[in-house]
Structure 1
Amino acid sequence: MAHREDRSAVTAYPTSSHWGTYEVLVRDGTVVDVRPDPADPAPSPMIRNAPAAQHHATRVAQPVVRRRWLENGPGPDDRRGDPDDEYVAVGWETALDLLAAELDRVRREHGNTAIYGGSYGWASAGRLHHSQSQLHRFLNIIGGYTRSRNTYSHAAVEVLFPHVVGARGGYELLRRPPTWRAIAEHTDLLVSFGGLRVSNMWNASGGRAAHTAEPELLVAARGGVRMVSVSPLRDDTPAGAAAEWLPISPGTDTAVLLALMHTLFEEGLADTGFLDRYTVGAAELRGYVTGDVDGIAKSPEWAAELSGLPADALRDLARRMAAGRTLVNVGWSVQRARHGEQPLWAGIALAACLGQIGLPGGGFATGYGSMGSYGGGATPDALPTLPQGANPVDSVIPVARVSDMLLHPGAPFDFDGRRLRYPDIRLVYWSGGNPFHHHQDLNRLSRAFGRPETVVVHETHWTATARHADIVLPSTTSLERDDIAASQGDLRLRAMPRAVPPHGAARDEYDMFAGLAERLGVGKEFTEGRTSAEWLTHLYEEWRGRLRASGVEVPPPFAEFWAAGGVPMPGRIEPTTLFGEFRADPGAHPLGTPSGRIELYSATIAGFGYPDCPGRPTWLDSEERLGSARSRRWPLLLIANQPTGRLHSQQDMGAHSRSEKVAGRAPIRMHPADAAARGLTDGDVVRVVNDRGSCLAGVRTSTDLRRGVVQLATGAWFDPSAAPDLSCVHGNPNVLTSDVGTSALSHGCTGQLALVEVERFDGTPPPVRVFAPPRITPAREA
């Protein structure tokens, strides 16, 4: 499929990204504009970033090697990431020869365990040209690699819930929750901890054919579903939902959840019949909540002191929750903090006390308002996916512990009941993804990237990760290659035809890995004799075969699909009830837990002996909280949430992302009273600081956040400064966040909250340099 239309020398090409399906308008090989897909009821404004990003000066145009590595050879180097570092352009043959030789050296001298295959997702929405799949397939074929487990988004969910509701139950909670339509039909009250943020619903891994989450949420609200947003940000829920706002102090969700349970127990509103039949540990939980265990009743008055929410409001909310069909939602953002497992566990415990788990429209969920695919239906069979093969190396780390791994090789650590050791990594290979967006304490991460002997990055743009690499290979973007797109539960599988030629000497990653595999003697194993175009057809037809075998309506052959631009997703499921079979007959349909029931007390977790994750939902205080001892020095609590201008850090130079900046910096939102107390007004450039680092940002005042809280979204490209008192001139909040895990159970990301101070920046702010490419000397070969 070449194009949809051709007029006035402008051609419109359909494409897909993680933020949706849209069209790019191309003239003479240049993307000049975009427009939404006409079938999308609520398109994301992020599509406006595409034209500038596609042809930006920071595109990686040719293979390059860092001069210090090229001249000195592999080895640790604290200069990685220096903004003034120099690169040498080389031809593709030289680049692949150098990289293949280095991979072979590391394997021979240190074994495949010494290779860390990073590549944390989110590169292309395509099913074939998916960077993580391509890299991991290649590394598996050459003998394996050290890998990461779980996600920055919801690692605490992924590790905790198999212990509490079983592996299948955890999967269902993440992948097959009730749809918004089911909520509209059955739910009386939706109580969401962490809000229901619309900008998060624009994004889904693999993209969405149509953004339906926000429209369906509003239909539910207008149809009578009452919503309560427990969040420090009023606009975490769309205004059209008319949600009740409870402006909680960040990091105190567990205390509020326990207080709601306290009211249910004290007033006889808890469903003891449900607790007796479907759970274990209810007596232990009740004893803790009422104070019999430790002498502290987790009452609304107790929670009010921590959360800043009135005790009467909490008591009233608990009564309303017990009076009708209630769905408790704990968003992914809430668990991205110290002890992030606890609000999740307390949330499902509250739902169990209400006795509505397994009923349509009731119970517990995690993820509404966290991603566009959540509550959007489910796909019965796996989507077309490049097979990665098996990793013969048994070396793993939690995904958010990469700095610990690089800085402390051989050090022991606990993880989900296992005692492991960090491997001695000599080569880091990153293809897609940007750890200098996802990770915390970027100064520490930068030091960690100085420890390996070689860092390799495939990239489309000169991100901070690319600027920490020794070998940088230029990748094509999704607009420069053919692919197919869909996400879990999507409405359509879509064609993504190439719209523009590759930038400079950029290549598809498939071709890069095929070239490396050939040099390492495993070319046939990697390609299986197919070109990328042949793989695209093969994956589609293999998917059709799986559908046929499962009795689902089979879409047309690949050629017809490609010509049509897409096909409806066959066999979509509209889930209405989680744990319905379990509720109907827990004996015939037990959960995959040791007891077969919901574990409000887990003897398994208790047996691990982790002080930071006991065997039942527990209030564990955090130093990153208003009212803590640490807050006396750093009095404002920063929320580093997801941005509205882009997905993570992608296309930060685009028009929509730029439109949100203040004086060229990331915007920091402050309550007017907090700004006035510091002599600040809208538009001021400020220094946001704590004992980990500092960054510049531009002030925007708003009453949509509670006092004492400031909000600086993630994703501004990390732009380090030579000044000792300024870590980033562009406004990346991860120079301020703490690089510790949620607990020894999951080691989830804790980058949501950080205590800071905000002060006026006097003088002329340093320029933002990150949107200019690094210094590159001419190519050494044609």
Structure 2
Amino acid sequence: MKRRDFLKLGALSAASLQAKELDGAAQALFDKQSGLSANKFGPFYVRTIAGRVVETEPFEGDACPNELNNALLDHIQNESRVKYPFVRKSFLADPNNPKPELRGKEEFVRVSWDEAIKLSAKILKENFDKYGAEAIYGQVYQWGSLGKVGHSQKTAKRLLNVLGGYVNELGGYSYGAATVILPHVTGSIDPTLAPTKWEAILKNAKTIVFWGTNPVVSNKIAIGVPLHNSYKYYDEIRKKGESGEMKIYSVDVYHNESARYFGAKYLEVVPCTDTAMMIGMCNYLFEKGLYSKEFIEKYTVGFDKFKEYMLGTKDGVNKNLAWASKICGVSELELAKFSEDLAKNDSVIVSGYAIQRQDHGEMAYWALVTLNAMLGHIGKEGCGFVTNDGMHKNADESFIAPKLAAFETKVPQKFIDSGLVPKTKGYELPNSRLIDALLSPGKEITRNGKSYKLPKIRVMFNANGSTFTRHPETNRAIKAMQKVSAIITCEPFWTSTAKFSDIVLPAALECERTDIEMANSTSEYLFAIKPLVKPFGESKSDFEIARLIAKEWGREEAFSEGKSELWRR
């Protein structure tokens, strides 16, 4: 080849290469997409180029868009994501000799989806067939993801019911003590499920107390898709506080963000002493004649017994402000002034979940209702107490629109009647007693007046939550979770529980799968959640993972009813 011809060929090749690069850049522009998505941080628009998130934009219906969604790219493509199915080395070598003492220490081995599904299905079925539903624990909490079809809590429960039954969690860590005690005290849980609206509070209350709550931070997220309507009311509360129209208090263990935002009078309380503080305040109201005798006599029962305890008639301990101050750390003078402000002004106490997350946590809410009864503000518009400020229900409007049903966790009766799914009895376990069950199976316990026998759990199926994250006494939990034969975790991230598992199945995030969801506690918006990016690594949706395990048992039809993830044939 002549040199001139060679140079011509080189020039043509370079031009061709540049054209291909330009074509690639142009193609990337054509690959630019935009779509609406939603998660527990709120609704948002996602912009992608060539299948990669480049930015997020607020949804116009979100009153206070959550900045956490600005980090969506980091959330998706994070080194803590589970990229492939993994099995712990010793467990893979011999599931019958799993060496549980190596959990959390030993390396994981990457396996194919086929191998991971077969092994998971085998472990679950063998233990169910040999020991029954008592042997399978479904750690399927509500906070991990959302969706009416692909919510990991729903798909996992349906899967374990297709197996034939399992040990189901009873109650919750978030609000567990409150949901048990309040119906006994107020007669119903309804006041907490439909709390006083912020409009009424702003219109009528002269004093507002944020007790054990940090709403400016905690209400950035929700169980469903939050629209953050509370924040416009927080701004109005702050302005009323600045103008002197409203007195604002914060009772907490630290000077939190909400207290600083509202410019609230801060009362620092020793952790887990809220009950003592409230009882001391009740005592002060009684002794000073500041309590509503009319309300107590007309709308309550049992005050005589409480009065005996409060005054120390039987035990000789007068639970006055001096007694309370030594326990809670708030001075007698501050407690007296606080009590008088609540009694002399129309007031509302907005309590978070924190005060009932302690030993005998139900007593804190019982004391809260008692204090409000003595103040006499219960029943007045915008006054009294609120115990559910973490669900956005104080601000969200309810619309007359049909509610969207969620994926049913129960197996249709026809599959049981046909013999495809065994007819068995599931078990219930108070969720805070999981560690007790693992360490002391067979022990008798009581909850809300009912007796329970702790089951002998052999396999844990985890989805949508991390036991180590939410359960106290981590070292005790580690010891307990070494007692089970197998731990299977379906999870997008390498959580502490995932790292302590035997089998880890990578689950897709909301923006990587198909689903549908409503605005939190309303029917104002219906969000069609579509996959905007490809699942990270080899991740699959929770629905697909559960379907594949059910298929391995020959029970796919009982799980999916022949429908796709869009829940249509």
Q: TM-score range by the shorter chain?
A: 0.7 to 0.9
Asked if structure 2 preserves the Cα contact closer than 8 Å seen for 1:178 and 1:377, the reply is no
The aligned residue for residue 598 of structure 1 is none
The aligned residue for residue 425 of structure 2 is 393
The amino acid across from 1:416 in the alignment is N
Deviation, structure 1 residue 351 = 0.9
Deviation, structure 1 residue 513 = 1.6
Does 1:192 pair with 2:214? no
Work out the CA distance in 2 between the residues paired with 1:71 and 1:211: 50
What value does the CA root-mean-square deviation take over the aligned residues?
A: 2.3
Does 1:57 pair with 2:74? no
Match of 1:323 among 339, 344, 348: 344
The aligned residue for residue 151 of structure 2 is 130
Match of 2:51 among 13, 23, 29: 29
Asked if structure 2 preserves the Cα contact closer than 8 Å seen for 1:202 and 1:371, the reply is no
User: Percent sequence identity over matched residues?
Assistant: 28
Deviates more, 1:354-363 or 1:237-246: 237-246
Deviation, structure 1 residue 122 = 1.4
Asked if structure 2 preserves the Cα contact closer than 8 Å seen for 1:75 and 1:452, the reply is no
Q: Rate the CA distance shift 1:80–1:162 in 2: closer, same or farther, 3 A.
A: farther
Work out the CA distance in 1 between the residues paired with 2:441 and 2:131: 13
The aligned residue for residue 502 of structure 1 is 535
Q: Secondary structure at the match of 2:451?
A: strand
The amino acid across from 2:447 in the alignment is F
Does 1:176 pair with 2:194? yes
Q: Secondary structure at the match of 2:566?
A: helix
Asked if structure 2 preserves the Cα contact closer than 8 Å seen for 1:254 and 1:346, the reply is yes
The aligned residue for residue 556 of structure 2 is 523
Asked if structure 2 preserves the Cα contact closer than 8 Å seen for 1:234 and 1:245, the reply is yes
Does 1:18 pair with 2:40? yes
How many residue pairs get aligned? The number is 525
Match of 1:156 among 165, 168, 177: 177
Deviation, structure 1 residue 261 = 1.1
Over residues 728-749 of structure 1, what are the superposed CA-to-partner deviations in whole Å (9 max), with x where a residue is unaligned?
xxxxxxxxxxxxxxxxxxxxxx
How do 1:286-435 residues align onto structure 2 when only pairs under 5 Å count?
286-368=307-389, 370-378=390-398, 382-389=403-410, 392-435=424-467
Work out the CA distance in 1 between the residues paired with 2:499 and 2:148: 27
Work out the CA distance in 1 between the residues paired with 2:459 and 2:211: 41
Deviation, structure 1 residue 46 = 1.7
Work out the CA distance in 1 between the residues paired with 2:366 and 2:104: 43
The aligned residue for residue 102 of structure 1 is 123
Structure 2 unpaired stretches of 5+: 1-27, 412-422
Asked if structure 1 preserves the Cα contact closer than 8 Å seen for 2:250 and 2:259, the reply is no
Asked if structure 1 preserves the Cα contact closer than 8 Å seen for 2:248 and 2:262, the reply is yes
The amino acid across from 1:217 in the alignment is Y
Deviation, structure 1 residue 531 = 0.5
Q: Rate the CA distance shift 1:379–1:108 in 2: closer, same or farther, 3 A.
A: farther
Q: Secondary structure at the match of 2:562?
A: coil
Work out the CA distance in 1 between the residues paired with 2:213 and 2:454: 37
Q: Secondary structure at the match of 1:24?
A: strand
Q: Secondary structure at the match of 2:496?
A: coil
Asked if structure 2 preserves the Cα contact closer than 8 Å seen for 1:175 and 1:374, the reply is no
TM-score of the two chains, using structure 1 as the length reference: 0.64
Work out the CA distance in 2 between the residues paired with 1:470 and 1:439: 20
The amino acid across from 1:37 in the alignment is F
Asked if structure 2 preserves the Cα contact closer than 8 Å seen for 1:397 and 1:422, the reply is yes
Asked if structure 2 preserves the Cα contact closer than 8 Å seen for 1:179 and 1:377, the reply is no
Work out the CA distance in 2 between the residues paired with 1:188 and 1:383: 39
How do 1:621-700 residues align onto structure 2 when only pairs under 5 Å count?
none
Match of 2:521 among 481, 488, 491: 488
Deviation, structure 1 residue 51 = 0.8
Asked if structure 1 preserves the Cα contact closer than 8 Å seen for 2:63 and 2:231, the reply is no
The amino acid across from 1:386 in the alignment is F
Q: Secondary structure at the match of 2:195?
A: coil
Asked if structure 2 preserves the Cα contact closer than 8 Å seen for 1:67 and 1:86, the reply is yes
The amino acid across from 2:284 in the alignment is T
Q: Rate the CA distance shift 1:490–1:319 in 2: closer, same or farther, 3 A.
A: farther
Q: Rate the CA distance shift 1:195–1:460 in 2: closer, same or farther, 3 A.
A: closer
Deviates more, 1:24-33 or 1:154-163: 24-33
Work out the CA distance in 2 between the residues paired with 1:301 and 1:57: 53
Work out the CA distance in 1 between the residues paired with 2:238 and 2:80: 44
Asked if structure 2 preserves the Cα contact closer than 8 Å seen for 1:410 and 1:423, the reply is yes
Structure 1 unpaired stretches of 5+: 1-5, 539-782
Deviation, structure 1 residue 18 = 0.9
Q: Secondary structure at the match of 1:359?
A: coil
Work out the CA distance in 2 between the residues paired with 1:308 and 1:218: 30
Deviation, structure 1 residue 379 = 6.6
The aligned residue for residue 504 of structure 2 is 472
Does 1:203 pair with 2:221? yes
Work out the CA distance in 2 between the residues paired with 1:104 and 1:228: 55
Asked if structure 2 preserves the Cα contact closer than 8 Å seen for 1:187 and 1:325, the reply is yes
The amino acid across from 1:306 in the alignment is I
Over residues 484-528 of structure 1, what are the superposed CA-to-partner deviations in whole Å (9 max), with x where a residue is unaligned?
223213642222221101222222221222222222232222111
Q: Secondary structure at the match of 1:43?
A: coil
The aligned residue for residue 100 of structure 2 is 78
How do 1:571-586 residues align onto structure 2 when only pairs under 5 Å count?
none
Deviation, structure 1 residue 150 = 1.1
Work out the CA distance in 1 between the residues paired with 2:496 and 2:222: 24
The amino acid across from 1:511 in the alignment is E
Match of 2:167 among 137, 143, 146: 146
Deviation, structure 1 residue 387 = 0.9
Asked if structure 2 preserves the Cα contact closer than 8 Å seen for 1:63 and 1:95, the reply is yes
Work out the CA distance in 1 between the residues paired with 2:429 and 2:97: 23
Deviation, structure 1 residue 460 = 1.3
The aligned residue for residue 267 of structure 1 is 288
Asked if structure 1 preserves the Cα contact closer than 8 Å seen for 2:249 and 2:265, the reply is yes
Deviation, structure 1 residue 9 = 5.6
The aligned residue for residue 299 of structure 2 is 278
Deviation, structure 1 residue 8 = 8.1
Work out the CA distance in 2 between the residues paired with 1:42 and 1:238: 19
The amino acid across from 1:298 in the alignment is K
Deviation, structure 1 residue 259 = 1.8
Deviation, structure 1 residue 480 = 0.9
Work out the CA distance in 2 between the residues paired with 1:159 and 1:261: 23
Deviation, structure 1 residue 438 = 1.1
Deviation, structure 1 residue 478 = 0.8
Q: Rate the CA distance shift 1:153–1:241 in 2: closer, same or farther, 3 A.
A: same
Deviation, structure 1 residue 248 = 1.9
The aligned residue for residue 778 of structure 1 is none
Asked if structure 1 preserves the Cα contact closer than 8 Å seen for 2:31 and 2:51, the reply is no
Q: Rate the CA distance shift 1:174–1:382 in 2: closer, same or farther, 3 A.
A: farther
Over residues 273-310 of structure 1, what are the superposed CA-to-partner deviations in whole Å (9 max), with x where a residue is unaligned?
22122211011112222222322222222222222222
The amino acid across from 2:228 in the alignment is H
Asked if structure 2 preserves the Cα contact closer than 8 Å seen for 1:194 and 1:236, the reply is no
Over residues 239-288 of structure 1, what are the superposed CA-to-partner deviations in whole Å (9 max), with x where a residue is unaligned?
34232111222222112211221122112222222212221101111222
TM-score of the two chains, using structure 2 as the length reference: 0.87
Q: Rate the CA distance shift 1:183–1:251 in 2: closer, same or farther, 3 A.
A: same
Deviation, structure 1 residue 428 = 0.6
The amino acid across from 2:314 in the alignment is V
